[in-house]
C-alpha cells in the first residue's frame, strides 16, 4: 500500500512553493508579476530553453573547432546560429505554443534580430567586465564571471523584447 505522495504531487507542491516565494519578492510586486504566475512560468521555460541553447552553442563551437578545424570566428557564428534555431524551435513549441498560429518566417526573423542584438550586448558586457574581473582574478575565472553576468543580462533582454515583439499579444 502506497501511503506517500506521488512524484507528480511532490513536484507540484515544490513548484507552487517556489512560485509563491518568487511572487512575494518586492521586485515581483513592482513589475506587476504577483498576479501573473503564468508569465513567470513562461520566463522560467524561456530560461530553460536558453540553457539548452547554451549547450547547443558550446557543443557546435567545440565540434566545429576541434573536429573540423574551422576558424574561431566561423565556429562562434555557427554555434550562435544553431543555438538561435534551437531556442526558436523550443520556444515556439513549448514556451509560447500559441505562437504556432502565426507566420513562422516572420517570427523567426524577429527572434533572430533580437538574439543578434543580444549577442552584441553580450559582447559589450563581457569585454567591458573582463578587464575589471581580470584585475582581481586570472583567466578563465575572470572571463567566465563576465560571461555569466552577460548571460543574465541578455536573458532578460531576449525574454522581454521577444515578449513585446515576437510573441506580442499572446496571453
83-128 pLDDT per residue, tens: 999 999 999 999 999 999 999 999 999 999 999 999 999 889 988 9
Q: What is the mean pLDDT of residues 29-35?
A: 64
Quick one: which of 126, 123, 111 has its CA closest to 158? 111
| DSSP summary character for residue 25 | S
Tell how far CA 7 is from the center of its chain. 27
For the chain, the average pLDDT equals 85
Model confidence at 70, pLDDT cuts 50, 70, 90, reads confident
Which pLDDT does position 72 carry in this prediction? 79
CA 20 to CA 130: how far, in whole Å? 36
Which pLDDT does position 74 carry in this prediction? 84
- Catalogue the E-assigned strands of 16-65: none
Which cell is 82 given? 544553431
Model confidence at 37, pLDDT cuts 50, 70, 90, reads confident
pLDDT tens digits, 76-93: 889 899 999 999 999 999
Find out whether 83 and 53 touch, Cβ atoms under 8 Å: yes
User: Is residue 25 predicted with pLDDT exceeding 80?
Assistant: no
Higher pLDDT, residue 142 or 17: 142
Amino acid at each position: 500500500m502506497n501511503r506517500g505522495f506521488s512524484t507528480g504531487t511532490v513536484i507540484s507542491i515544490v513548484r507552487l512553493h517556489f512560485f509563491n516565494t518568487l511572487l512575494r519578492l518586492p521586485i515581483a510586486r513592482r513589475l506587476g508579476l504577483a498576479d501573473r504566475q503564468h508569465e513567470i512560468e513562461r520566463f522560467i521555460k524561456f530560461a530553460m530553453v536558453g540553457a539548452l541553447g547554451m549547450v547547443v552553442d558550446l557543443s557546435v563551437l567545440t565540434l566545429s573547432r576541434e573536429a573540423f578545424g574551422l576558424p574561431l570566428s566561423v565556429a562562434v557564428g555557427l554555434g550562435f546560429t544553431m543555438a538561435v534555431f534551437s531556442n526558436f524551435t523550443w520556444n515556439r513549441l513549448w514556451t509560447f505554443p500559441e505562437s504556432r498560429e502565426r507566420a513562422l518566417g516572420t517570427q523567426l526573423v524577429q527572434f533572430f534580430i533580437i538574439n543578434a542584438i543580444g549577442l552584441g550586448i553580450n559582447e559589450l558586457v563581457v569585454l567591458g567586465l573582463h578587464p575589471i574581473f581580470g584585475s582581481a582574478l586570472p583567466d578563465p575565472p575572470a572571463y567566465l564571471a563576465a560571461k555569466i553576468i552577460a548571460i543574465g543580462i541578455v536573458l532578460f533582454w531576449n525574454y522581454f523584447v521577444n515578449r513585446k515583439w515576437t510573441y506580442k499579444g499572446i496571453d
